[in-house]
Amino acid sequence: MKRIQRFMVGRHGADQLSAFLLIMSILAMWIGRMTGVSLFMLIGYLLMGIGFYRIFSKDMMSRRRENSEFLRRSIPVKNKLKHWVESIGGNTKQAHSHRYYVCTKCHKQLRVPQNKGKKVIKVVCPACRNQMKK
Ligand SMILES: [Zn+2]
C-alpha cells in the first residue's frame, strides 16, 4: 500500500467522472462480448484508457475542471432519472423530497430538500458557506 500511496502523490486520483468512465467501459465490453460486436470492445478499451489516464494524471486543475463540468451536466440527468423512476412508481418519497445541485464555488455536490411552492430557493453550501439562488 505504501508504494501505491507514494505513486499517487501529485496525481489526480479517482473521481466521479473516472468512476463513470470505468463503469461505462465495463458495460461496453460486456455488451461487446454478448453481441460479438467488436466496436463495443474498442469503445470499452478506449473509455477505460481515458478513465485510468484521468486517475493517474498530474494535471489536477484540468481534471478537476472536467469533473465539475461532468457533475454539472450529470445532475439534471440525475434529477430527470429520479422523476422518471418516480413516474413509474419507484421510491417516490426520497425522489420527491430532495434535489441535487453543485456548489458554484467549491463544486461539492449538495442534496437539498425540495421546496414545494416557492420557485426560487436559497441554497447554502455546508462546506464553503457559499450562497446560491436556485
Ligand atoms: Zn461550496
What are the pLDDT tens digits along the chain (134 aa)?
A: 788 888 888 898 999 999 999 999 999 999 999 999 999 999 999 999 999 999 999 999 999 999 999 999 998 888 888 888 777 766 655 555 777 888 989 988 888 877 666 667 788 888 899 988 87
Ligand 1 center to 18 CA (angstroms): 21
Q: How far is the CA of 4 from the centre of ligand 1 (A)?
A: 30
Assess contact for 97 and 122: CB atoms under 8 A.
Answer: no
Distance 103 CA to ligand 1 centre (A): 5
Distance 123 CA to ligand 1 centre (A): 10
**Contact criterion met (CB below 8 Å) for 130 and 110:** no
DSSP type of residue 35: H
Q: Is 12 helix (H, G, I), strand (E, B) or coil?
A: coil
Q: pTM of the prediction? A: 0.58
Distance 102 CA to ligand 1 centre (A): 8
Q: Which candidate, 100, 97, 92, places its Cα nearest to that of 76?
A: 100
